[in-house]
Amino acid sequence: MDRFFQYLFDGLSVGAIYSLLALSIVVVFRGSGHLNFAQGEMAMFCAFVTWQLQDWGIPLWIATVLSMGFGFLMGAGSEYFLVRPVAKKSPYSVFVVTIALFLFLNSLASAIWGALPQEVMPSLFPDAPDDFLKLFGATWRYESIGVLVVALALMGLLFLLFSKTRFGLAMRGVASNPESSRLVGIRTSAILAASWGLAAALGALAGTLVAGRTGDVQPSLMFTFFVYAAAAATLGGLDSLVGAVISGLAIGVVENMAAGYAPGWIGQEMRLSVALLAIFVVLLSRPSGLFGSAKVERV
């Protein structure tokens, strides 16, 4: 049972980061119908920004918040200047634009910061070797608890934003029916840019959490996280916020259990495949994901 709780907890903690990034993907997809392949790279770039700000002497928490603000502007700017002009002409070209943005941000980060030395990124939480507590026989590192708590708290705020505020109502409206949204007086273009911004701000937090966990910031920081997050978003149904959160957590737990209980033949190398295989099986039986809304409309 000790091992069970260990894998469960480790899985939830890393899964919370998948969920955050999956939420970014879902927020963009719901708003504009596009998949932003650069979502992970935006998060990576923001992690560098956080590192840079704290390196200049700004306290890490403040640097993280500033980085999220930077992420918002980067996301909104990308939508407004890069995605929107081509989206009008062809939706497929958006795919190419986000791939280009992926490569661009990756090279730009390399060009500006190059390869930072290892172990330079401080964590938002105490992460000395003895910063943990023992519970149910498992080791609960403060770092992992912190990641889980911060990620879940932010998701809670996001849900309040969507369900309780005028801005959230407008975002849901634009996702549901853009044409009618304009007819009730919503400036849909502003809402779209804001949802890309919001998504990138969530990603900035995810990137900073990932970098703090590993201690390193590098251009490849978010590669695997993006794959897991995209998988979580798909599994959750792509348009469901709840689905993205639950799927992200579930993928984290499944991959940790699989790698932990079958170290011989799954181990560290194959864990990604196990998670993706599980998703494949689920999507075969539920094509619109676990929580996705099957589009049924009475006329």
Q: Which is nearer to another protein, 130 or 179 (CB)?
A: 179
Of 90, 214, 220, 293, the residue at the interface with another protein (CB under 8 A) is 293
Among positions 90, 118, 165, 180, the unique one binding another protein when judged by CB under 8 A: 180
Interaction with another protein in 87-126: which residues (CB under 8 A)? none
| Nearest distance from C-beta of residue 39 to another protein, angstroms | 23
Does 298 interact with another protein (rule: CB under 8 A)? yes
If one asks whether residue 200 binds another protein (CB under 8 A), the answer comes out as no
If one asks whether residue 296 binds another protein (CB under 8 A), the answer comes out as: yes
> Does residue 176 interact with another protein by CB under 8 A?
yes
Q: Does 185 bind another protein (CB under 8 A)?
A: yes
Query: What residues have CB less than 8 Å from 7, skipping those under 6 apart?
Result: 253, 256, 257, 260, 261
Residue span binding another protein (CB under 8 A) among the ranges 35-43, 88-96, 141-149, 162-170 = 162-170
Is 26 a binding residue for another protein by CB under 8 A? The answer is no
Estimate to the nearest angstrom the gap between the alpha carbon of 108 and the chain centroid: 21
Query: Which of 207, 250, 259, 208 shows the shortest CA–CA distance to 232?
Result: 250
Closest CA to 44 of 195, 210, 196, 193: 210
- Closer residue to another protein, CB minimum distance, 176 or 273: 176
Q: Where are the alpha helices (DSSP H) in 130-266?
A: 142-164, 166-176, 178-183, 188-214, 223-236, 241-261
Kindly state whether residue 166 participates in binding another protein, applying the rule CB under 8 A. yes
Long-range (24+ apart) CB contacts under 8 A made by 290-293 are 290/235, 290/236, 290/237, 290/240, 290/243, 290/246, 290/247, 291/236, 291/237, 291/240, 291/242, 291/243, 291/246, 291/247, 292/236, 292/237, 292/238, 292/239, 292/240, 292/243, 293/237, 293/239, 293/240
Q: How far apart are CA 242 and CA 283, in angstroms?
A: 17
Which one among 173, 224, 266, 270 touches another protein, defined by CB under 8 A? 173
For residue 169, state whether it binds another protein (rule: CB under 8 A): yes
Contact between 269 and another protein by CB under 8 A: the answer reads no
Q: Which is nearer to another protein, 118 or 180 (CB)?
A: 180
How many whole angstroms separate alpha carbon 94 and alpha carbon 83? 6
Interaction of residue 164 with another protein, rule CB under 8 A = no
Read off the tokens for 240.
């469901």
Which of 279, 221, 246, 214 lies closest to 26, judged by CA? 246
220 binds another protein (CB under 8 A): no
The answer to whether residue 183 forms part of the interface with another protein (CB under 8 A) is yes
Q: Which is nearer to another protein, 180 or 220 (CB)?
A: 180
Stretch binding another protein (CB under 8 A), from 132-140, 145-153, 174-182, 261-269: 174-182
**84 is a contact residue toward another protein (CB under 8 A):** no
CA-wise closest residue to 158 among 37, 252, 22, 290: 22
- The verdict on 294 binding another protein (CB under 8 A) reads no
**46 class by beta-carbon count within 10 Å (0-12 exposed, 13-18 middle, 19+ buried):** buried
Q: How far is the CB of 177 from another protein (least distance, A)?
A: 5
186 lies in the site for another protein, by CB under 8 A: yes
Which residues are near another protein by CB under 8 A?
166, 169-170, 172-173, 175-177, 179-187, 293, 296-299
